[in-house]
């Protein structure tokens, strides 16, 4: 059975992915750095979803916790959506650089434990906003912020 680890699972995109992965027959393991969402909260999903997803709490910025998580789950697939985001604001440059390091460690551990497929979320901040519109195949990747440069990395 395909086992997927979803990082950032309590976020806007992550929550939307969980039911779709379950529908497609994946064994879903979700991770969040926060205390796990209480039953009935929007972040916990519906009753069936909450029961079908195996939840893990880990700080992906901590290499030891990342190693322990990947050793325990041994996912075949990785959906990496976690990153620090400040709605309407900017994440400090150092925080973005730490996320690049944490993401590389996550990928290294995933590969080490036999993982086969990775999907990572990007951002419109990776693209040149002066271009006039954003089309992945056409718009140049010219980030104007540390966040955009780190997501592009």
Same-domain pairing of 108 and 132 = no
% residues pLDDT > 90 (the chain): 67
Nearest CA-CA partner of 73 in 62, 86, 89, 57: 57
Q: Can you tell me the mean pLDDT for 103-116?
A: 98
Question: Could you tell me the pTM of the whole model?
Answer: 0.87
Same-domain pairing of 66 and 135 = no
Report the distance separating Cα 145 and Cα 46, nearest Å.
37
Same-domain pairing of 117 and 91 = yes
Pair of tokens at residue 104: 């590389």
**Domain interval for residue 152:** 123-153
Same-domain pairing of 15 and 78 = yes
Same-domain pairing of 64 and 108 = yes
CATH number for the domain spanning 84: value is: 3.40.50.720
Q: Count structural domains, the chain.
A: 2
Question: 78: helix, coil or strand?
Answer: strand
Same-domain pairing of 26 and 101 = yes
Same-domain pairing of 30 and 62 = yes
Q: Which residue has the higher pLDDT, 9 or 39?
A: 9
Same-domain pairing of 22 and 75 = yes
Question: For the CA atoms of 38, 40, 43, 49, what is the dihedral angle to 10 degrees?
Answer: 100
Same-domain pairing of 110 and 134 = no
pLDDT of residue 33: 87
């Amino acid at each position: 059975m395909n086992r997927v680890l979803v990082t950032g699972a309590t976020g806007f995109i992550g929550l939307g992915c969980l039911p779709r992965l379950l529908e497609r027959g994946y064994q879903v393991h979700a991770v969040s750095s926060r205390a796990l969402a209480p039953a009935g909260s929007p972040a916990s999903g519906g009753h069936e979803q909450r029961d079908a997803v195996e939840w893990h709490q880990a700080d992906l910025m901590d290499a030891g916790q990342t190693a322990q998580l990947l050793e325990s789950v041994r996912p075949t697939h990785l959906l990496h959506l976690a990153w620090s985001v400040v709605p309407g604001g900017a994440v400090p440059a150092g925080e973005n650089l730490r996320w690049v390091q944490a993401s590389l460690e996550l990928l290294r551990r995933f590969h080490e434990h036999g993982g086969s497929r990775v999907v990572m979320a990007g951002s419109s901040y990776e693209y040149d906003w002066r271009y006039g519109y954003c089309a992945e195949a056409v718009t140049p990747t010219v980030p104007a912020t540390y966040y955009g440069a780190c997501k592009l990395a």
